[in-house]
């Protein structure tokens, strides 16, 4: 097997991208909240107010992200509970193969 570090570089790139996305998402959530708080008592220009539209966009974004985070947290807790409940004795189960049955595969 020829290993030249390509897999390690790909894993490092994935980590960097994941960290970048997490930081970008955190900043977006923070600045959306700050914008909503800052512009809450703005001088509204009626039904076509651009600030009201931006506030609505920020609220939709925060609602979508918070719903996703809640589902993620529920999934993580469910996986943790299942991993604790399941017995650990099934880790070394070997599956039958042709080699384990000592089958000769010559013509």
pLDDT at 58: 92
| CA dist., res. 57 & res. 105, Å (int) | 65
pLDDT digits (tens, 9 = 90+) for 29-78: 899 999 999 998 888 888 889 999 999 999 999 998 888 888 888 888 99
Q: Where are the domains of the chain?
A: 8-73
Please tell me the distance from the alpha carbon of residue 36 to that of residue 31, in angstroms, as a whole number: 9
Q: Determine contact, residues 25/34, Cβ cutoff 8 Å.
A: no
**pLDDT mean over 2-7:** 65
Measured distance CA(10)–CA(4) in Å, rounded? 12
**34 burial class (0-12, 13-18, 19+ CB within 10 angstroms)?**
exposed
What pLDDT, on a 0 to 100 scale, did the predictor assign at position 69?
A: 82
CA 73 to chain centroid? 10
The two tokens of residue 31 are 């600045």
Q: pTM to 2 decimals?
A: 0.57
C-alpha atoms less than 13 angstroms from C-alpha of 82 in its C-beta half-sphere:
6
pLDDT digits (tens, 9 = 90+) for 61-75: 999 888 888 888 888
Which band of pLDDT confidence, cut at 50, 70 and 90, is reported for residue 82?
A: confident
């Amino acid at each position: 097997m020829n290993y030249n570090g390509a897999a390690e570089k790909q894993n490092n790139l994935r980590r960097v991208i994941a960290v970048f996305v997490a930081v970008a998402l955190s900043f977006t959530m923070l600045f959306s909240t700050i914008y909503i708080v800052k512009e809450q008592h703005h001088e509204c220009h009626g039904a076509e107010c651009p600030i009201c539209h931006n506030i609505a966009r920020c609220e939709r974004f925060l609602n979508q992200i918070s719903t996703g985070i809640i589902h993620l947290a529920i999934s993580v807790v469910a996986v943790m509970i299942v991993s604790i409940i399941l017995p650990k004795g099934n880790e070394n189960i070997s599956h039958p193969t042709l080699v384990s049955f000592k089958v000769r595969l010559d013509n």
